[in-house]
Amino acid sequence: MSTAATADASSSGDTTEGSVRLLTLQSEDGEVFEVKETIATQSVTIKGMVDDDCATSTIPVCNVTGRTLAMVIEWWNKHEIGAVSNEKELKEWESQFDTIDDKSDRDDVYDLLMAANYLNIPTLLDCCTSAVAEAIKGKSTDEMREFFDIKSDFDEKEEDALRKENQWAFEN
């Protein structure tokens, strides 16, 4: 996945590009990104900082790595309000999450999910939760335990009884 900083690095936090203000975001591991304010305010958290005039210097994005932040920015660029987004392209980008059974893909989605939650980006949060839901909805209980790393605390008898109660839900 490519890094998606939108402008050359600059030291000042309130650089302008034309009439669009640029914000400087710094990831947990120190990577710096310059992002158009109009794009970054898709994050409710960042919008709050801009509205409160707290976004004049570098904004630290704790808990989010540079790799993940780059993915978030790529998402923002594709979802910029007013941009004529190419729906097909958007679907393609979203479809990369279709195979999240692969461990590294799953970790990417989890990272994005946590970032979307931290930065409060409802559309990205929706997209990630939907991707995971889509991937797990057909799983068996054992596969679910493995997927979420959960140990069952039902004993065998209890689980059997529960299964019998709603056998249809365990059949295809």
Partner 1 sequence: MVKLPEDMIIEILSILPVKSLIRFRCVCKSWYVEVQSRSFISKHLKNDHNIHLVIPHTKEEKDLFAYPNLSYTWFPDKTLGELSLQNFLPQIPIGGFFRGPFDGILCIIEKDISLYNIGTKELRTLPKILHYKGDWVGFGLDPVSNSYKLILVDTPYLKTREGSECRVSPIVVYTLNSDSWRNIEDSNISYIYDYFTGAESGTCLNGVCYWLSSYRDTKEAVIFPFHLGDEMSREIIKVPMQEKYGLSLGIYNESLSLLHMHYVTKCVDMWVMNQGCWTKQLTVGPLVGLDVCHPLGFWKRGSFFLNAVNPDKKGGCYMGEQVILYDPSSTHNTKYSCVFTGYMVMNLLIYKESLVNIKGDDH
Residue numbers of the site for partner 1 (CB under 8 A)?
84-85, 87, 103, 106-107, 110-111, 113-114, 117, 125, 129-130, 132-133, 136-141, 144-145, 148-154, 159, 162-163, 166, 168-170
Structure tokens at 112: 């994005």
Q: What is the maximum span of the chain, computed from C-alpha positions, in angstroms?
A: 68
> Would residue 82 be called left, alpha or beta, if left means φ above 0 and alpha means ψ between -120 and 50 degrees?
left
Phi, psi values for residue 10, rounded to 5° = -145, 150
Closest distance between partner 1 and the C-beta of residue 150, in Å? 5
AA identity, residue 32: V
Task: CB nearer to partner 1: give 37 or 105.
Answer: 105
Task: CB nearer to partner 1: give 2 or 103.
Answer: 103
Task: CB nearer to partner 1: give 52 or 151.
Answer: 151
Location of structure tokens 């999910």: 113
Closest distance between partner 1 and the C-beta of residue 7, in Å? 27
